[in-house]
C-alpha cells in the first residue's frame, strides 16, 4: 500500500471520528414539550422558535431563578426582587441588589409574559424575555455577576451540568437566558375572581361590577357615561403587554416637563417618547404595591387619587388622559377624572378581583430549593 493511500485513509478515519464526536457533542437534547391550555380571551401568544417551551428548560429555569449563584455575593437571586407571594414583585419602592444602592425602578410583576410585549422593563429597553433575563445578572447594582465566571461555577456543579445538558446541551450565556425566560413564560395566571367571572363560574358583587364598568369606560359627558378611563391604557390588563411596537407605553402624568424622566426615550432617542413608561399588567395588582415605575404611590387609593386630580401636564402627556373627564370640562388646564368617592372605591374593588391566589401559591412556581428541603 502506498504511503499516500495510508495517509488518506488515516485522514478519512480521523475526519469521520471527529465528525462523530462533534455530532454526539452537539446533538440536540431529547426534550419534552410542556402541555397546557390557556384562556382564549388572552389572545395569541408567542414563543421564540429557537427556545421552545420544554419541561427540561423550565425545570432548569426555575432552579436558576431561585438560585443566588447568579449574583456576585451569592446572596441575591431573581426571586429576591420577584417574590411569588407578591406576584413576583418585592414590595419595595425600588429594588435593592448586591450593591445595596436602590435601583432606578420598581420590580415589575411577572405574569402572563408570553402574551404581547415586544419591549421589556418599564422603559422598554430590551426586546425579548431572554435579553431581559440576562440584564439584571450583569447589572452592577443588581446581581453584578461576571457571566464567564458564572458559567465556570455552573460547570462545576454536577446537577446544573446535568440539567443544562438535558435542556440545551451546554452551559452558556444563551442557555442561561433561555432557561430563565422559559420558566417565566410558564408563570401563567388565569384563575383570579375576574377570570372565574369571565368563565361564568362566579358573579361579581354589585360594587365590583360597578368598578368593572367604570374600568372599561372612557367617560363621555354627552351621553352621561361615567368612566375610569383605565382601559384606554390598560387594555391588555390581563396579560403583560401589547403585541405591536410601542403600544402600551404612555405618559400618565406623573411629572411635569421640568422633572420628566427619560422612559422610552432611552431606547428610541425620540423626544416624543420622553416620559413614556410601560402600562404594566394589572393582574394581581392588589398585592404588588408600591405602584408606578418608581414606586411613588404606596396604595391603590393613592393611584386613583393621582388620576383624579393629581395629573401633571407635560409635552408628552397622553391625550386620552387630558381628555377624560366625568364632568364637562370648564378649565382646560385642570386635568382630572372627577370620579366620586364611591366610584373610586368601586374601581379598587374591581382591581382586587384580579388577584389570583392560586397563582400566588402555585407550587410549580415556588422555590425548588425549599421544595428540596421539605422533601428531605
Partner 1 sequence: MSNTLLIALAIVILSGCSEPSKTTNIAATDITETRSKALIEKDNSENSGVNIEETQAMVLLSGLPTLGTTDSIAIIELDPESDNFGDILYDYPLPKLDAPMHHLYYSPTGRLYATGLGSQCSLAEIELVRNAKAEPIINNFECLNTNGQNVGEDIMWHNVNGELTMFVTFMGGSDLSQVDTGTIGVFNAQNNQVIKIIEARESQVEPGQPYIKFPHGISAYKDRMVVTSSTHPTIPTEVGNTITIIDLNTLEPIETIVIEDAKPVGFPSSPVEVLFVRPSIVENVKPAILVNTLFGFETWKVPYNEQTKTFSAPEKLYDGATSGTAVPLEFYGNNDELFISHGVPGIVKRYDLKQLPNLVSSGEDIKAESGAHHMIFYKTASGRKLIAIQNNLLNLGDAKDDDPTDIDFLVKLNHHSVTVHDLETGERLGEINFKEKYKKGIDNIEALFGSGFTHHH
Distance CA 178, CA 176 (A): 5
Count Cβ atoms within 10 A of the Cβ of residue 105 and give its class: 0-12 exposed, 13-18 middle, 19 or more buried.
middle
Minimum CB distance to partner 1, residue 247 (Å): 9
| Piece in contact with partner 1 (CB under 8 A), picked from 12-20, 32-40, 277-285, 364-372 | 32-40
40 vs 100, beta carbon nearer partner 1: 40
53 vs 180, beta carbon nearer partner 1: 53
| Piece in contact with partner 1 (CB under 8 A), picked from 36-44, 88-96, 262-270, 319-327 | 36-44
Counting Cα atoms < 13 Å in the Cβ hemisphere of 33 gives 6
DSSP 290: S
103 vs 214, beta carbon nearer partner 1: 214
Verify binding: residue 13, partner 1, rule CB under 8 A. no
Q: Which residue has the cell 432557561?
A: 179
209: which 3 cell numbers? 361590577
Distance CA 13, CA 19 (A): 10
- Answer for the pair 183, 132: CB distance below 8 angstroms, yes or no: no
47 vs 144, beta carbon nearer partner 1: 47
DSSP 263: B
Residues composing the chain = 376
* Residue from 23, 26, 30, 37 in contact with partner 1 (CB under 8 A): 37
163: which 3 cell numbers? 440539567
Verify binding: residue 243, partner 1, rule CB under 8 A. yes
Minimum CB distance to partner 1, residue 43 (Å): 8
Verify binding: residue 362, partner 1, rule CB under 8 A. no
* Residue from 40, 224, 331, 374 in contact with partner 1 (CB under 8 A): 40
Of 41-70, binders to partner 1 (CB under 8 A) are: 41-47, 49, 53
Burial letters 135-159, b for 16+ CB under 10 A, else e: ebbeeebbbbbeeeebbebbeeeee
Bridge partners, residue 274, by sequence: 263
304: which 3 cell numbers? 386613583
* Residue from 148, 200, 333, 373 in contact with partner 1 (CB under 8 A): 200
DSSP 51: S
| Piece in contact with partner 1 (CB under 8 A), picked from 98-106, 237-245, 258-266, 311-319 | 237-245
- Interface size with partner 1, residues (CB under 8 A): 29
Minimum CB distance to partner 1, residue 35 (Å): 5
Minimum CB distance to partner 1, residue 117 (Å): 12
Whole-angstrom distance between the N-terminal and C-terminal Cα of the chain?
A: 66
CA geometry: angle at 338 spanning 332 and 341, to 5°? Answer: 165
Minimum CB distance to partner 1, residue 210 (Å): 9
Minimum CB distance to partner 1, residue 49 (Å): 7
Verify binding: residue 38, partner 1, rule CB under 8 A. yes
102 vs 243, beta carbon nearer partner 1: 243
**Helix, coil or strand: residue 274:** strand
Verify binding: residue 224, partner 1, rule CB under 8 A. no
- Which residues are near partner 1 by CB under 8 A? 33-47, 49, 53, 197-200, 202-203, 206, 209, 223, 243-245
Amino acid at each position: 500500500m502506498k504511503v499516500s493511500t495510508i495517509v488518506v485513509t488515516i485522514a478519512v478515519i480521523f475526519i469521520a471520528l471527529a465528525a462523530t464526536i462533534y455530532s454526539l457533542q452537539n446533538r440536540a437534547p431529547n426534550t419534552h414539550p410542556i402541555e397546557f391550555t390557556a384562556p382564549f380571551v388572552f389572545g395569541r401568544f408567542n414563543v421564540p422558535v429557537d427556545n421552545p417551551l420544554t419541561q427540561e428548560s423550565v425545570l432548569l429555569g426555575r432552579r436558576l431563578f431561585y438560585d443566588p449563584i447568579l449574583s456576585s455575593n451569592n446572596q441575591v437571586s431573581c426571586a429576591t426582587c420577584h417574590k411569588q407571594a407578591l406576584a413576583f414583585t418585592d414590595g419595595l419602592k425600588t429594588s435593592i441588589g448586591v450593591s445595596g444602592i436602590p435601583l432606578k425602578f420598581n420590580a415589575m410583576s411577572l405574569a402572563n409574559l408570553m402574551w404581547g410585549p415586544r419591549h421589556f422593563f418599564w422603559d422598554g429597553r430590551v426586546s425579548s424575555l431572554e435579553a431581559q433575563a440576562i440584564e439584571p445578572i450583569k447589572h452592577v447594582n443588581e446581581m453584578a455577576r461576571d457571566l464567564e465566571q458564572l458559567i465556570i461555577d455552573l460547570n462545576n456543579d454536577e446537577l446544573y451540568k446535568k440539567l443544562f445538558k438535558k435542556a440545551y446541551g451546554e452551559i452558556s450565556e444563551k442557555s442561561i437566558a433561555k432557561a430563565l425566560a422559559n420558566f417565566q413564560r410558564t408563570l401563567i395566571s388565569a384563575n383570579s375572581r375576574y377570570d372565574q367571572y369571565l368563565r361564568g363560574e362566579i358573579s361579581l358583587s354589585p360594587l365590583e361590577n360597578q368598578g368593572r364598568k367604570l374600568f372599561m369606560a372612557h367617560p363621555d359627558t354627552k351621553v352621561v357615561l361615567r368612566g375610569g378611563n383605565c382601559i384606554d391604557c390598560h387594555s391588555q390588563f390581563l396579560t403583560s403587554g401589547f403585541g405591536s411596537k410601542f403600544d402600551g407605553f404612555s405618559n400618565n402624568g406623573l411629572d411635569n416637563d421640568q422633572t420628566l424622566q427619560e422612559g422610552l426615550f432611552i431606547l428610541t432617542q425620540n423626544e416624543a417618547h420622553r416620559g413614556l413608561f410601560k402600562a404594566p399588567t394589572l393582574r394581581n395588582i392588589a398585592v404588588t404595591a408600591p405602584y408606578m415605575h418608581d414606586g411613588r404611590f404606596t396604595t391603590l387609593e393613592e393611584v386613583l387619587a393621582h388620576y383624579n386630580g393629581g395629573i401633571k401636564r407635560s409635552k408628552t402627556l397622553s391625550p386620552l388622559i387630558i381628555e377624560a373627564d366625568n364632568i364637562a370640562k370648564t378649565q382646560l388646564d385642570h386635568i382630572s377624572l372627577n370620579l366620586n368617592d364611591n366610584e373610586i372605591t368601586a374601581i379598587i374593588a374591581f382591581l382586587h378581583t384580579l388577584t389570583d391566589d392560586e397563582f400566588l401559591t402555585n407550587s410549580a412556581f415556588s422555590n425548588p430549593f425549599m421544595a428540596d428541603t421539605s422533601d428531605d
